[in-house]
Structure 1
Amino acid sequence: MIPGVVAYILNKYAQNHPDWAEQYSRTGYPVLSNAVGFLPSLVKFSVGEWLVVLVLLLLLLYIGYYVRKVIISKGTRRMEVYRGVMGIVAMGSMLYFCFTVLSGLNYHRDSFLSYTEYHEEQYSVAELAELCQSLADDMKPVREELGEDNDLLVQAPDDFDYYTQHAVLSLQMLSKQYPVMARSLYSTPKPVVMSKLMSRAGIEGIFCPFTLESNINVDMPVFMIPAAMTHELAHQCGFMQEDEAGFISFLACMQQDEPMIRYSGLFLAFDHSISALEKVDPDKALEIESSLSQKVQHDMVQNEQYWGKYDGIISNVSTRVNDAYLKANNQTDGVSSYDKMVNLLLAEQRYNLLRTSVSLSKMN
């Protein structure tokens, strides 16, 4: 019980004192996360995935053990029930404490924008349309570099290791511009054996705070994998807000000339941005989508078809659980917070346009 109480107090304090949470994220968290993540980082498989399986197995055995104790006991059944329940509470308390110090407190830190020159403000529909068109224009030549192969669903076995190294490199390159992203230990993303189950749940990647691993769904379209990797690595760097992790993922992918990495980042940004435009100006959104190259349109269709076939009870339950989890961790918009990365993309666009305008005025 005590670890859980301590964790609750720490969370409440961090929520009311973001300066302290930021200080912890930049001092205590890196030390603890490196210590915990070191051993899992030495292997290529996901320790977190098998840890979940082990915990569930032990939990079933534990429940079975106490159910048997209750059945065979006569005068002490209430005591056995009490012991069994308190054991589960104690385990939950310890898990909650570990989650808090290895992840939870980071939800209350300063926004990533505080480390940039961008400012999140109100943006017009015209600016959103301009963003979508700019991303669409950037996607075409990058997609051409990927060759004539129209099927980017299938991934070669060696590709995953290649992208893990480049995903880490992308974060390292980005950290030169934003030192707050720097880490002495980047645990490379891990493939998940039960990726089909992740697809059924509508999940692209999961950051495991107990092993500091970025777990990736390797069954989804390959052009989504690099962006998923950099997104989860952003969480590993201590930025837990989903919109910020998405924005960092985009920035990281743009650090490299490797076409698949860049295309993945652009596809992620365009997918969220065009969805936002469809809500406010569907005609303009359709016009921009129609201007995409046939290959990009084909990729969009394949991506929609892939996730569409897994729509159902499992994905709906998963979405609701994730929504509740995010709201419980200082993200009031829940799953909608993923789409808020568009505001950060618009902030970057406005800043770049203003900087270009100032440079031109100085030249004149």
Structure 2
Amino acid sequence: MKKWLPLLLSITLLVVQIIMYRALRHFPEIVERWYSTGIYPYIGRAMRFGLGWIPFSFGDVFYVLVILLAVRWLIVHFKEVVTLSRKRYTQLFVTLNVVLAFFHAAWGLNYYRQPLHKILELESTYTDEELLKVTRQLVYTSNELHKQLQSQDSLAVDFKRSQADLFELAPSGFENLGSVDPSLTYGPNSIKKSLLTLPLTYMGYSGYLNPMTGEAQTNGYINNYKTPVLILHEMSHQLGFAKENEANFIAVIAGMKHVDPYFQYSASIFALRYCLNDLYLKDPEAFELLRPEITPGIFKNYKELDDFWGPYDDNVIEKVSQASYNTYLQANNQPDGMRTYSYVVALLVNYYK
């Protein structure tokens, strides 16, 4: 029996960890106070300070090495794994315990913090009239910014800056957000193009946060209206807002408060697209009446992004990846999976109404 004890202990510890993390869903105030606004800001800043100076994605290199070592381990010990070797399964469960614990300690506990509408003291519901009002505001703002950046209303706004330049400019968008919430101050910069941009594109992702290194990664191929708000989105994850919808909302208000009009335009039409989609579903007649008021060049910017993703739509890699990510979201306190992205509309409406 003693020889099986390490394996049994490692399995038991993994089960205990999973139960504990699921239980935290019922204590968001505790997570918010002691982790998300307690120790995590120090962890996040330390990780950004420690790795932000490296010019390439350390996390991507780390992931590749881990995958290669895992494949090597599986090949070398394949026979023992198939024959249920006690020693190899003990190694496997010990590794799973360490990875799971580090993931949650480094960043993952933010999935269990209070909802953003409670943090910012906003309502979580809205009426169709409020949605229409905020959508009209966004139409006006987007039209004015388009006029400022593009002399012809039939043309898209041209985004010519490199991602490297945008990385330098992006943090100033958070400088004015301390008055909204103190936890929104950014600090050390650690934003990088992903070295894995090609597979990332086929998987259908614009970027991601590496929770193990605290680095914000962007899809290096994207160079359109989405780029500034994409960068701000990944930076919002770095600040501890793990849920995609909440990171989208923070990216919008950071972009709207940025001094650079291109960041403002990116954030404005990004938010507008969310609200237009929601308006179309809830009140198609109001949508059709409002649509002619939108500068045609804005739709050209939307089309540029759609055209970028067009060649990669519905490939097998994307389908598997999206299904896996949806499961990941559901496992991390987002029971509706990727559909929870619509929550950003509620945040936008109640913030701007």
How big is each residue's C-alpha offset from its partner over 1:314-333, in whole Å with a ceiling of 9 and x where there is no partner? 22222211111111111122
Q: Cα offset for 1:33? A: 3.0
- Alpha-carbon distance in structure 1 between the residues aligned to 2:80 and 2:327: 34
On the 8 A contact 1:46/1:215 being kept in 2, the answer is yes
- 216, 219, 226: which is aligned to 1:217? 219
- 109, 129, 134: which is aligned to 2:137? 134
Residue 52 of structure 1 aligns with an amino acid whose one-letter code is Y
Check if 1:31 corresponds to 2:42: yes
Corresponding residue number in structure 2 for 1:11: 21
Q: Cα offset for 1:91? A: 1.8
Distance 1:247 1:303, change over 3 A: same
- 329, 336, 350: which is aligned to 1:347? 350
Count of residue pairs the alignment pairs up: 339
Which shifted more, 300-309 or 112-121?
Answer: 112-121
- Superposed, 1:287-306 pairs within 5 Å as 287-306=289-308
Corresponding residue number in structure 2 for 1:356: none
On the 8 A contact 1:3/1:97 being kept in 2, the answer is no
- Superposed, 1:198-237 pairs within 5 Å as 198-237=200-239
- Alpha-carbon distance in structure 2 between the residues aligned to 1:221 and 1:347: 31
SS at match of 2:222: coil
Corresponding residue number in structure 2 for 1:359: none
- Alpha-carbon distance in structure 2 between the residues aligned to 1:70 and 1:330: 36
Distance 1:309 1:133, change over 3 A: farther
On the 8 A contact 1:226/1:264 being kept in 2, the answer is yes
On the 8 A contact 2:234/2:247 being kept in 1, the answer is yes
Corresponding residue number in structure 1 for 2:248: 246
- Superposed, 1:118-133 pairs within 5 Å as 118-121=122-125, 123-133=126-136
- Alpha-carbon distance in structure 2 between the residues aligned to 1:217 and 1:335: 19
SS at match of 2:209: strand
- Alpha-carbon distance in structure 2 between the residues aligned to 1:84 and 1:163: 46
Which shifted more, 274-283 or 252-261?
Answer: 274-283
- Alpha-carbon distance in structure 1 between the residues aligned to 2:200 and 2:242: 20
Q: Cα offset for 1:88? A: 2.5
- Alpha-carbon distance in structure 1 between the residues aligned to 2:261 and 2:225: 10
Corresponding residue number in structure 1 for 2:6: none
Residue 47 of structure 1 aligns with an amino acid whose one-letter code is F
Corresponding residue number in structure 2 for 1:109: 113
Structure 2: runs of 5 or more not aligned: 1-9
Distance 1:286 1:303, change over 3 A: farther
Residue 226 of structure 2 aligns with an amino acid whose one-letter code is M
How big is each residue's C-alpha offset from its partner over 1:12-71, in whole Å with a ceiling of 9 and x where there is no partner? 44223222211221122223333344322111321111211111111111111113x659
- Alpha-carbon distance in structure 1 between the residues aligned to 2:191 and 2:151: 28
- Alpha-carbon distance in structure 2 between the residues aligned to 1:130 and 1:42: 44
Distance 1:52 1:155, change over 3 A: farther
Residue 301 of structure 2 aligns with an amino acid whose one-letter code is D
Residue 227 of structure 1 aligns with an amino acid whose one-letter code is V
Corresponding residue number in structure 2 for 1:324: 327
Q: Cα offset for 1:266? A: 1.0
Check if 1:144 corresponds to 2:147: yes
On the 8 A contact 1:278/1:285 being kept in 2, the answer is yes
Distance 1:57 1:339, change over 3 A: same
Q: Cα offset for 1:105? A: 1.3
Q: Cα offset for 1:308? A: 2.5
Relative to the length of structure 1, the TM-score reads 0.85
SS at match of 2:217: strand
Corresponding residue number in structure 2 for 1:90: 94
Structure 1: runs of 5 or more not aligned: 72-76, 351-364
Q: Cα offset for 1:283? A: 3.5
- Alpha-carbon distance in structure 2 between the residues aligned to 1:113 and 1:180: 14
- Alpha-carbon distance in structure 1 between the residues aligned to 2:16 and 2:50: 27
- Alpha-carbon distance in structure 2 between the residues aligned to 1:56 and 1:138: 46
On the 8 A contact 1:112/1:244 being kept in 2, the answer is yes
On the 8 A contact 1:208/1:214 being kept in 2, the answer is yes
On the 8 A contact 1:3/1:94 being kept in 2, the answer is no
Distance 1:303 1:287, change over 3 A: farther
Residue 119 of structure 1 aligns with an amino acid whose one-letter code is E
Distance 1:95 1:134, change over 3 A: same
On the 8 A contact 1:153/1:221 being kept in 2, the answer is no
Q: Cα offset for 1:284? A: 2.7
Distance 1:287 1:202, change over 3 A: farther
Residue 234 of structure 1 aligns with an amino acid whose one-letter code is S
SS at match of 2:190: coil
Corresponding residue number in structure 2 for 1:360: none
- 274, 277, 286: which is aligned to 1:275? 277
How big is each residue's C-alpha offset from its partner over 1:90-122, in whole Å with a ceiling of 9 and x where there is no partner? 22221111111122211111222233242222x
SS at match of 2:178: helix
Residue 339 of structure 1 aligns with an amino acid whose one-letter code is S
How big is each residue's C-alpha offset from its partner over 1:1-22, in whole Å with a ceiling of 9 and x where there is no partner? 3764564354244223222211
